[in-house]
Structure 1
Amino acid sequence: MDNSATNSEPLVVDLSIPFPTSREAEIAYGTLSVDAEPKRSSVKKTVVHKDNMLHIHFESNDARFLRVSVNTFFDHLGLVVQTMERFGPPRLK
């Protein structure tokens, strides 16, 4: 029996993450958008920065890969937020 959760319809997760300022969202975007999903994961991830928001779109036909990708993203997001909190508000460019 195959236990994989593969669907013919793509599974989608859309997130909108607010930041206190546009600059902080821009820093998070610059950090989180550089890592492409591994080719073997079959997950498509799109990160968009607009004003003080990050919009993230995940899409996959495999629920397990989608779950791992979203969990990993939240781990990285947590690290970015902790780093910004530790070093204070970002300076203007």
Structure 2
Amino acid sequence: MDVVTSAVETNAPEKNLSPWEFSCDLEVDYKSDEIASIVYSTMAVDKELQPDKVRRSMSVSNGKLSVRFQATEARFLRASYSAFVDVLTLATKTIEQFGTSM
């Protein structure tokens, strides 16, 4: 597993046209569509606890899991990203330990 990119963006408050002022992108390269799809399916069941404050969108392409977070405040972005990465790490370690033949 390789974390390819992780970026955080903020929009200037005076130019903010939407409430989703803070965003972050994460891309993890699993080098396998099968593993990336398994992780995607695992992570997709957990919805955001505060969807009015945080949005998360995910996709899989060429063995990479891409995730985009958008939030109304930096603290909601941080909390959502942190919780997501914790569960993502657990899912990845489980696949590494037991393989995909389960």
| TM-score range normalised by the length of the shorter chain | 0.7 to 0.9
For 2:32 and 2:71, locate their aligned partners in 1 and report how far apart those are by CA, in whole Å.
Answer: 31
Q: What amino acid does structure 1 have at the position aligned with 2:45?
A: V
Unaligned runs of 5+ in 1: 1-6
TM-score (norm 1): 0.82
Runs of 4+ in 1 over 6 A off after TM superposition: none
Relative to structure 1, the CA distance from residue 66 to residue 42 in structure 2 (aligned partners, 3 Å threshold; closer, same or farther) is same
For 1:85 and 1:60, locate their aligned partners in 2 and report how far apart those are by CA, in whole Å.
Answer: 31
For 2:78 and 2:52, locate their aligned partners in 1 and report how far apart those are by CA, in whole Å.
Answer: 11
Aligned twin of 1:69? 80
Mapping for residues 27-38 of structure 1, pairs under 5 Å:
27-38=38-49
Which protein, 1 or 2, shows the higher relative CO under an 8 Å CA cutoff with sep ≥ 6?
1
1:50 deviates by 1.4
1:24-72 per-residue CA deviation (whole Å, 9 max, x = no partner) reads 0000000011111013661000011112011100001211110000000
Unaligned runs of 5+ in 2: 1-11
Relative to structure 1, the CA distance from residue 46 to residue 75 in structure 2 (aligned partners, 3 Å threshold; closer, same or farther) is same
TM-score (norm 2): 0.75
